[in-house]
Amino acid sequence: MSVYGGLEYTEDSIITTLLSYPGNVNPGVAVPPAVTLTVGGAQIGVYNIAPANVAWLGAQRNNDFQVLQADRVRLTNDTITAEWIIEGHRIQGLGVDAMMQNMKQDVASLIALRQQLKHAIDQVQAQHMGDHIILAPGAPADIFPPGPQGLFWYSPGAQVKGAAQITVQYENLETITRICQLNASKFLPGKKVEAGDDADMVAGTLGPLQLARYNNIVGTSSFAGAQNLLQELTKLATPVVGTGGVVLSKAQVGLIMLMVLNDAMASTMRRHASPIGQSADKNIQRFFPKSRRRDYVWAVAQHNVADMYLGTLRANITNAAAAMAQLAWNSCDPFALDIGPTQTELSAISGPLGPAQAIAQTQQRGRQGNQVLPMEIIGLKDAVLGANGATLAAWIARAALAYTDTNAAPAPATDHYNGLGHGNVIISLNFSPVTPHVYGAVYEFRDHEVPMTMEHRDEVLSVMRKLFTAA
């Protein structure tokens, strides 16, 4: 089996910053590079700017721009810090061992490129103490005008320190099912799957002793609760039947309903009202879906689902939205819900000392194991999910639009957004493409970012191998 994936390695923002600027202000004087580098085949100019002249850089940008690309390794700014991206999926048709060999080489290349940049920046800084050291891709002879990517102020820390988010395209339906169950388990009662066990739980590689910690057999873990939740959703599911037979079975529709519910839970708790999601929004799901949502329906079906049958699926899920929401309301762990945006919402209506404070105190007492009255639990659930899940039901209907989108236009597709341009599900700026002629589901393992330093890379590589093998 071929595997497709990569990682995003974000440097620790406490010790490293990478700021992006348009460089659209003409200094009126020539500012040549202090040093010109070739970094992995990419030309980079290194310039020194006095603090008094920082206005030459223009206004700081929050969007991601690219500093360099060296084969499969790219450096971009992730708002204020350095994000290194390894695009392992660019080499197609590789088995696990070959992919892992590439990834091992790419991680080493990432660190070498980073250290080369740091060495050059340190040298120029030593010669121009107090100045800002600025990078310009393409190494223009003058800092103005820069190339299309603009200018960057990179301040790498003394140590290579950060964490990786691993993205993999999954075709194995058992693995996809476990991913959806792990996402749901985060907000269900019982012992939660701990960071460090999550990749093994998804890959199905937890040993007997580790598995026993979650008591799955007796059903007292949150993961066992997610398995039960999928069974209950499947009971609600209606298969999609075409003229030639079953297009989506009852079990397949149940799994898609769990995907929809996970997305809707995230949007509900975050009170999502933006075209794209930020880190806190995406982290609601331990494995974040990065592609156009119709691709996940096709991954479950393992074939293209025609528009007319996507319409049937949409109607089936929409009709079941209230029952799905009630099921989630009944079964959720109220003390695990993300209540921050709900508190903000309530504070705007009644001030910080009213219902906003009440739900916070209820959740805190519940987490501490202290007594919580049934009416307080109902109040907490209603505040976040709506009375009997009414707010969640509305988000389920919106998520169903995204999962059954039939728009042939390039992504982002219309039905991923409402009339205000806000996401019907939480998405990234761009969808991750699924490999052509493959029915796969792309997920980013992000809630548990895997630490990585120059000296310690084994954990990242170990987790990648588990996920690639299970893909």
Percent of the residues in the chain that have a pLDDT greater than 70, as a whole number:
97
Q: Judging by beta carbons within 10 Å of its beta carbon (0-12, 13-18, 19+), is residue 369 exposed, middle or buried?
A: exposed
Joined together, the tokens standing for residue 77 give 């700014």
Per-residue pLDDT reduced to its tens digit, 413-469: 689 999 888 999 999 888 888 988 899 999 999 877 899 998 899 999 999 999 999
Q: What are the helix and strand counts (H, E) for the chain? A: 14, 14
The predicted structure's pLDDT at residue 62? 87
3-state secondary structure of 153: strand
- Report whether 355 contacts 424 (CB < 8 A): no
pLDDT tens per residue across span 187-230: 999 999 998 899 999 999 998 888 887 866 556 899 999 999 99
Domain-wise residue ranges, the chain: 5-159, 171-453
Mean pLDDT throughout 101-128?
96
**Calpha distance 74→85 (Å, rounded):** 5
Question: Tens digit of pLDDT for each residue in 359-414?
Answer: 999 999 999 999 999 999 999 999 999 999 999 999 999 999 999 999 876 555 68
In whole angstroms, give the CA distance from residue 460 to residue 75.
18
- Tell me what pLDDT residue 218 has: 57
- Residue 1 or 243, more confident: 243
Cβ-based neighbours of 355, under 8 Å, separated by 6 or more: 346, 379, 383
- The per-residue pLDDT for range 50-91, each reduced to its tens digit, is 999 999 999 999 888 999 999 999 999 988 999 999 987 656
For the chain, how big is the Rg over CA atoms in Å? 24
Please provide the average confidence, as pLDDT, over all residues in the chain.
94
Classify 147 as helix, strand or coil: coil
Closest to 150 (Cα-Cα) out of 41, 76, 70: 76
Q: How far apart are CA 161 and CA 165, in angstroms?
A: 14
Between CA 292 and CA 295, with CA 293 as vertex, the angle to 5 degrees is 80
Nearest 5°: the CA angle 191, 197, 201 is 90
Per residue in 262-306, pLDDT (tens digit) is 999 999 999 999 999 998 999 999 999 999 999 999 999 999 999
Is residue 343 a contact partner of residue 383, using CB atoms and an 8 Å limit? no
- The confidence score (pLDDT) of residue 87 equals 87
